[in-house]
């Protein structure tokens, strides 16, 4: 009964809506840790799906689920500390939507039926919209409107893509249940033209949600206006879920012998995203927007790595895990900065090294990690992706990728230096607290730990994940 993984948060969320907010906080943390336990049980194969037509345990799904669950458990601690300090006006809606968000994301990770996957991804948009709007400012309103409208239209196009895949089944005269696992078995008989059309629509649709340029326009607004806990979830968990949707169709394309086509599309979108992020990050006056553009860049790197395949695919999945850990840590730290200084504008904040020493450590280390410095995992994953791209002889593509990465580093390092050591005229509003620093430190440490000692089960899961697209560690 692996479905319990998404049923539990949904029920808990609805309960939290109607109970007093103090109880709601308890429910949030308990559910988060129960969810982590359930995900671990699913990871070790102790649970199996009941509704086999719709859900299935896949290695890629379990990776996304475990990452989501782990991040959510830590973020829930931060969230409770955050709401109890700031006294959020709509606390019950906040906690309810957080839990529903966890539920819908878990559903994405388990979906095997393309339309169920679509329903779950659209549902993540709908339950996270109130979270972005929770502060009720004019800017938050604008960000929410853009988020809901752009993502809904994008995801609607993905539905069209799903219909094209069904059409390719009908033309190929195939009579299997409509699910990824059974489609993969008969992929060779699907009509290639309509399958390609389906993939293009799916990557445009779910790519909107994943933040691939040029469909990324909602992302910086939503990430900068949402409370930092929500930004951390959006960036660390939601983008992976959208990526999972694309990845599943990419696997199908590989089984159908159209892997070269889908790989090239992924590489093109990936490179374009990295470049766009690099250009917009250069003169960014807002540090949360800077982090948002960095997410776009990293999603681009992941799409690029998956498109290259081979050892780069291993790097891409590793990149996904470490990006989630580091970026959610960074967003949590940025939440402390925002609480402390009361502004998101870089010129107004500064001297964090003296004023907020603990947040400074986590923010600066997170920045080093996300820029690809050892001892954090992004270093390894980016090296693997670049080696993979060299091996497959795509020299021009690697050149563009590295140029983009340098741009992002240049833009981000200026901002981080300004915040950390620059002059500050702002007064400190709220001091840093243990429970708002600990989660981001733990996230950083887990990225560090995974870097020096990767458990064999994670290594095997990644290998199983990329096997289907022809990737391996030695390829």
**Residues near other proteins (CB under 8 A):** 53-54, 113, 115-116, 118-119, 122-123, 125-126, 129-130, 133, 136, 138-139, 141-146, 148-149, 152-153, 156, 159-160, 163-164, 166-167, 169-170, 178, 220-221, 224-225, 280, 284, 289
Shortest distance, position 411 Cβ to other proteins, whole Å: 12
Cβ atoms 325, 236 nearer than 8 A: yes
- Tokens 């954090």 sit at which residue? 376
Shortest distance, position 75 Cβ to other proteins, whole Å: 23
Q: By C-beta, is 146 or 433 nearer to other proteins?
A: 146
Shortest distance, position 116 Cβ to other proteins, whole Å: 6
Shortest distance, position 139 Cβ to other proteins, whole Å: 6
Shortest distance, position 144 Cβ to other proteins, whole Å: 6
Shortest distance, position 281 Cβ to other proteins, whole Å: 9
262-265: long-range pairs with CB below 8 Å, 24+: 262/199, 262/203, 262/307, 263/306, 263/307, 263/308, 263/309, 264/307, 265/199, 265/200, 265/203, 265/307
Q: Which helix (H) or strand (E) holds 342?
A: none
- Tokens 């899961």 sit at which residue? 461
Q: By C-beta, is 75 or 159 nearer to other proteins?
A: 159
Q: By C-beta, is 168 or 424 nearer to other proteins?
A: 168
Shortest distance, position 350 Cβ to other proteins, whole Å: 22
Q: By C-beta, is 173 or 452 nearer to other proteins?
A: 173
Q: By C-beta, is 91 or 221 nearer to other proteins?
A: 221
State the Cα torsion 74-76-82-87 to the nearest 10°: -170
The span from the CA of 68 to the CA of 47, in Å, is 18
Residue 281, Cβ neighbours under 10 Å: how many?
26
Q: By C-beta, is 148 or 320 nearer to other proteins?
A: 148
Cβ atoms 102, 466 nearer than 8 A: no
How many residues in total does the chain contain?
Answer: 475
Residue 440, Cβ neighbours under 10 Å: how many?
31
Concatenated DSSP letters for 129-143?
HHHHGGG--HHHHHH
Q: By C-beta, is 27 or 131 nearer to other proteins?
A: 131
Q: By C-beta, is 11 or 160 nearer to other proteins?
A: 160
| Burial (CB count <10 Å: 0-12, 13-18, 19+), residue 447 | buried
Shortest distance, position 224 Cβ to other proteins, whole Å: 8
């Amino acid at each position: 009964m692996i479905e319990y993984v998404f049923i539990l948060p949904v029920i808990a969320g609805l309960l939290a809506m109607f109970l007093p907010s103090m109880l709601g906080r308890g429910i949030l943390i308990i559910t988060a840790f129960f969810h982590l336990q359930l995900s671990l049980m699913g990871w070790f194969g102790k649970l199996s799906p009941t509704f086999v037509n719709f859900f299935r345990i896949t290695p890629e799904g379990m990776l996304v689920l475990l990452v989501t669950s782990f991040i959510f458990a830590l973020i829930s601690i931060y969230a409770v500390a955050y709401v109890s300090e700031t006294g959020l006006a709509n606390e019950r809606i906040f906690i309810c939507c957080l839990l529903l968000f966890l539920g819908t994301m878990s559903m994405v990770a388990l979906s095997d039926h393309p339309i169920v996957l679509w329903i779950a991804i659209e549902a993540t948009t709908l339950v996270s919209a109130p979270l972005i709007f929770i502060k009720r400012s004019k800017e938050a309103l604008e960000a929410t409107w853009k988020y809901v409208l752009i993502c809904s239209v994008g995801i609607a196009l993905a539905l069209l893509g799903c219909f094209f895949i069904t059409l390719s089944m009908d033309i190929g005269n195939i009579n299997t249940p409509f699910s990824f696992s059974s489609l993969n078995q008969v992929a060779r008989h699907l009509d290639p033209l309509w399958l390609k059309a389906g993939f293009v629509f799916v990557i445009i649709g779910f790519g909107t949600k994943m933040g691939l340029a040029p469909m990324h326009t909602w992302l910086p607004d939503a990430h900068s206006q949402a409370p930092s806990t929500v930004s951390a979830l959006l960036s660390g968990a939601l983008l992976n879920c959208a990526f999972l949707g694309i990845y599943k169709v990419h696997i199908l394309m590989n089984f159908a012998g159209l892997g070269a086509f889908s790989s090239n599309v992924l590489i093109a979108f990936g490179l374009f995203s990295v470049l766009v992020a690099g250009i917009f990050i250069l003169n960014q006056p807002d540090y949360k927007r800077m982090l948002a553009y960095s997410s776009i860049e990293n999603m681009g790197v992941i799409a690029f790595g998956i498109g290259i395949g081979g050892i780069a695919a291993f790097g891409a999945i590793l990149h996904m895990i470490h990006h989630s850990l580091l970026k959610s840590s960074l967003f949590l730290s940025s939440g402390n900065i925002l609480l402390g200084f009361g502004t998101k504008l870089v010129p107004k904040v500064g001297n964090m090294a003296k004023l907020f020493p603990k947040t400074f450590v986590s923010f600066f280390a997170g920045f080093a990690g996300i820029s690809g410095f050892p001892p954090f995992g992004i270093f390894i994953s980016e090296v693997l992706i670049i080696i993979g791209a060299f091996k497959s002889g795509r020299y021009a593509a690697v050149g563009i990728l590295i140029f983009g990465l340098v741009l992002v580093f240049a833009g981000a390092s200026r901002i981080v230096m300004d915040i950390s050591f620059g002059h500050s005229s702002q007064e400190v509003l709220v001091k840093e607290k243990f429970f708002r620093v600990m989660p981001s430190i733990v996230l950083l440490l887990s990225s560090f730990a995974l870097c020096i000692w990767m458990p064999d089960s994670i290594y095997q899961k990644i290998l199983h994940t990329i096997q289907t697209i022809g990737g391996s560690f030695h390829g």
